[in-house]
Amino acid sequence: MNLRVVVNGRERHLDVPPHALLLDVLRDELDLKGAKRSCDTQVCGACTVLIDGLAVSACTYLAVEADGRSVTTVEGLADGESLHPLQRAFLDAGAVQCGFCTSGMLLTARALLAEEAAPTRAEINAGTDLSPEVASVEGWMVNSAFIETPDLASRFVGKLAARISADDSSINFYASSNSVDVRSLLPRDTTGYILWLDEGDVAGRKMDVFKVTVASAPKQRAVEDPAQIQIQFVVTAQPSENVTIPA
């Protein structure tokens, strides 16, 4: 099968069997040995690479699933002779240990930091302020699940914090009569960030950052209020809460 993939910023065209694993293609076809084979069961993390910024286990990921996508291996972290800040931090802290699974640790850490990263002032200024067009909102809450922990020595059943989740959410926007509104800005599959600046865009105050994908094409469907457009968003990463707004 023909495979077109961007690996560490360089576009590659490969002919691979349908059953070929991404780990084997990276190591054997592209000579990128940073990702290691170990458990073959998505447990150890030594084979971790990034697909469009998300950490995956290359030992169980079919190469054809990466068609048209971007793959980052540990070889793609450094900028020429300059180490990535994470690589430098690992060296400074002596966190390399034996080195076999360090590449997986580095890429997993990069993916985690990308999810939790706070936008800069330049990124905020480059965004679009949609607050004047917002009619109503639904969702945009971060919830913690709890697991019951029975104690045989007590009649009381305690609970421990478990998974954190953010349900899919929506925003209703006011529509214009000529369609020059949010419909042109947020078509289906648009990805980006929604910033909730509840106390205004004031440096030093707090905001919540939601990484989202637009799940529905904007439509006017509310019979009781046809002048509104509802857009459904899928929250694709753990939101960053109470982030300090930069100056």
Question: Lowest mean pLDDT: which of 65-79, 89-103, 173-187?
Answer: 173-187
- Residue in 54, 68, 65 with CA at minimum distance from that of residue 21: 65
Give the number of other CB atoms < 10 A from CB of residue 202: 11
Highest-scoring range by mean pLDDT, 46-50, 120-124, 218-222, 227-231: 46-50
Rounded Cα gap, residues 33 and 5, in angstroms: 17
Is a pLDDT exceeding 80 seen at residue 106? yes
Q: What is the second-level CATH architecture of the domain 2-116? A: Roll (3.10)
Rounded Cα gap, residues 47 and 62, in angstroms: 13
The per-residue pLDDT for range 18-57, each reduced to its tens digit, is 999 999 999 999 999 999 999 998 889 999 999 988 899 9
Residue ranges per domain, the chain? 2-116, 122-244
Class of domain 122-244: mainly beta
Question: Cα 37 from chain centroid?
Answer: 25
Is a pLDDT exceeding 90 seen at residue 116? no
Mean pLDDT of the chain: 88
Contacts 24+ apart (CB under 8 A), 210-216: 210/140, 210/166, 210/169, 210/235, 210/239, 211/115, 211/235, 211/236, 211/237, 211/239, 212/236, 213/189, 214/186, 214/187, 214/188, 214/189, 214/190, 215/168, 215/188, 216/188
Q: What is the pLDDT of residue 228?
A: 86
